[in-house]
C-alpha cells in the first residue's frame, strides 16, 4: 500500500479513534466496577525515620476484580478524571479507607485526591461526610494533592486547603520535585507536609546532586514548619541517606509494598513495624 501524507493522517485518526474507544470502554467498566464492588483499597506503611515505626499509611486504590484483567491505578484514575467518575471513585476510597483505619487509633491515614475532585464545590462537605460516616477523627486524616491542581486554580486551592485545615485535616503536597514548586508557592498554600517524589528520593544513593536537593528541601520545609516524607525508598543505603538528610518519614518497597488492611493488621501483630 502507498504511504502518502494523506494515508498517514488517516492512520493517525484510526489510532486516535481506537484510543478513544478504549477509554469509553474503560469508563463503562469503571462505572459497573463501582456498582459491583470490584475495587479495593490497599495501604502502604509510612515509617517514622527516627523510631523506624509505622506511624501512618497511604491509601492506594486497586481493581483486582476487573473482569477484563488488571489495570494500574494511574491508568484508570486518569480515565475516571476525564469522565467525572472520579467523584464516585474518590468518595469510595475515602470512605473505605476511613472505615478500615478507624480501629488503628495510633495510625494516621493519607489519601490521594485528584485535581478534578477539588473542582467539586461540595468537596470539603463530602470529606466531612465521609469522616462522620466512619466516625474517623479529622486529625488523623491527611489529603495528598499535586501541584497540577494547586496551579490550575490557586484561589479555589487556597480556600479548599484552609477549609480542610479548619476541620483539622492535614494537607500534603505530593510528588514534590517533579514540577516547578517555589518557596513562595510552598508558603502561600501552607501545606503541612511535603512528599518528595521517588524520582528524586530514589536517586540519593547514586547522585550527589539529588542528595543535596533532598537536604535543601528538608531545610526549606523546616523553616516553613512543614514535615518531609521521602517516597520510593528501595534499599538500606537510601534509607540511611534520607534519614541523614533529615526526612521525617520514609515510605517505599524497602519497608513494605502496599497491602490489604488484613496484612497491615498482621504486620502490627508481629510488631515488626
Ligand atoms: P502516588 O500517589 O505517587 O503513589 C505512590 C506510588 O508509588 C504507588 O503506586 C506505590 O505503589 C508506588 N511505590 C511505593 N513505594 C515504591 C518504591 O519503593 N518504588 C517504586 N518504584 N514505587 C513505589 P500505585 O499504587 O501504582 O499508584 C500510582 C499513582 O496512582 C499514585 O501515585 C497516585 O497518583 C494514583 N493513585 C493511586 N491510588 C489513588 C487514589 O485512591 N486516588 C487518586 N486520586 N489517585 C490514586
Ligand atoms: Ca500519593
Ligand atoms: Ca507521590
Ligand atoms: Ca504520583
Determine the Cα angle at 81 with ends 160 and 167, to 5°: 20
The packing angle between helices 86-101 and 73-83, to 10°, is 130
pLDDT at residue 2, as a whole number: 47
Q: How many CB atoms lie within 10 A of CB 100?
A: 23
Which regions in the chain score pLDDT beneath 70? 1-13, 271-273
State pTM to two decimals: 0.94
**Does residue 213 have its Cβ closer than 6 Å to ligand 1?**
no
Ligand 3 is a single-atom ion; what residues have CB below 5 A from it? 174-175
Determine the Cα angle at 155 with ends 149 and 158, to 5°: 75
Q: Name the DSSP class of 26.
A: H
pLDDT at residue 153, as a whole number: 83
Average pLDDT, the chain: 92
Residue of the CA atom closest to atom 35 of ligand 1: 74
The verdict on ipTM greater than 0.95 is yes
**Does residue 61 have its Cβ closer than 6 Å to ligand 1?**
yes
The residue among 127, 45, 33, 143 whose CA lies nearest residue 80 is 33
- Residue 175 CA to ligand 4 center (angstroms) comes to 6
- Residue 2 CA to ligand 1 center (angstroms) comes to 45
Amino acid at each position: 500500500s502507498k504511504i502518502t501524507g494523506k494515508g498517514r493522517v488517516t492512520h493517525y485518526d484510526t489510532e486516535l479513534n481506537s484510543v478513544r474507544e478504549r477509554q469509553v470502554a474503560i469508563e463503562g467498566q469503571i462505572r459497573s466496577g463501582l456498582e459491583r464492588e470490584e475495587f479495593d483499597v490497599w495501604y502502604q506503611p509510612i515509617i517514622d525515620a527516627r523510631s523506624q515505626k509505622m506511624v501512618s499509611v497511604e491509601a492506594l486504590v486497586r481493581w483486582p476484580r476487573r473482569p477484563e484483567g488488571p489495570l494500574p491505578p494511574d491508568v484508570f484514575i486518569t480515565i475516571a478524571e476525564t469522565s467525572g467518575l472520579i467523584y464516585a471513585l474518590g468518595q469510595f476510597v475515602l470512605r473505605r479507607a476511613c472505615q478500615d483505619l478507624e480501629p488503628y487509633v495510633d495510625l494516621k491515614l493519607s489519601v490521594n485526591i485528584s485535581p478534578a475532585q477539588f473542582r467539586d464545590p461540595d468537596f470539603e462537605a463530602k470529606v466531612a461526610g465521609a469522616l462522620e460516616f466512619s466516625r474517623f477523627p479529622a486529625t488523623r486524616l491527611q489529603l495528598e494533592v499535586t501541584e497540577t491542581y494547586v496551579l490550575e486554580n490557586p484561589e479555589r486551592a487556597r480556600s479548599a486547603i484552609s477549609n480542610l485545615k479548619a476541620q483539622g485535616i492535614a494537607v500534603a503536597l505530593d510528588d514534590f520535585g517533579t514540577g516547578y514548586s517555589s518557596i513562595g508557592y510552598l508558603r502561600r498554600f501552607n501545606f503541612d507536609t511535603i512528599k518528595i517524589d521517588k524520582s528524586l528520593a530514589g536517586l540519593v544513593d547514586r547522585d550527589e546532586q539529588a542528595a543535596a536537593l533532598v537536604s535543601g528541601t528538608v531545610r526549606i520545609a523546616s523553616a516553613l514548619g512543614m514535615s518531609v516524607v521521602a517516597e520510593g525508598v528501595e534499599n538500606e543505603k537510601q534509607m540511611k541517606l534520607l534519614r541523614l538528610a533529615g526526612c521525617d518519614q520514609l515510605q517505599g518497597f524497602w519497608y513494605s509494598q502496599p497491602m490489604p488492611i488484613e496484612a497491615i493488621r498482621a504486620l502490627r501483630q508481629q510488631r515488626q513495624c
